[in-house]
Amino acid sequence: MAVRAMIRPASSVKAVYLCRKPVDMRKQMDGLSSIVQHDLGSNPLSDALFVFINKGRDKLKILTWENNGFIVWYKRLEQEKFSWPKMTDDTAVTLSGDELNFLLDGYDIWALKPHKKLALMPRV
């Protein structure tokens, strides 16, 4: 079995914001940074991670600024759905770096329940 390195947010990340409202996953850096600025009222150039979900909750994007440019990180689930907070008056939820990594691993961080582990053939 080959060892795979994963690019993950550091557990020491201090500011992680989940955008509660689903977004169109065709949006890239400019569209996501516009949502951060106008809908969340935050600075997309700040030292924070901004996390977005699609309507089906099976696709997730993370936007962050690093020194001289944006980084977008994307994950698609083959089965299951990401746990996501329900819409309320607040437009964002704040998480720690560890909580974000639990969410990316498939945990419902609000109920502490994991997804099933899959061993599927990749899509072609």
pLDDT of residue 42: 93
Average pLDDT over residues 105-124: 65
| Residue 92 to residue 81: CA distance in whole angstroms | 19
The band of 2, judged by pLDDT with boundaries at 50, 70 and 90, is low
The band of 1, judged by pLDDT with boundaries at 50, 70 and 90, is very low
CA 19 to chain centre: 9
More confident residue, 49 or 85: 49
Q: Where are the domains of the chain?
A: 16-104
Model-level pTM? Answer: 0.80
For residue range 34-80, what is the model confidence (pLDDT) as tens digits? 999 999 999 999 989 999 999 999 999 999 998 999 999 999 988 88
Q: Which of 9-13, 80-84, 86-90 has the highest mean pLDDT?
A: 80-84
Question: Residue 61 — φ and ψ, nearest 5°?
Answer: -130, 145
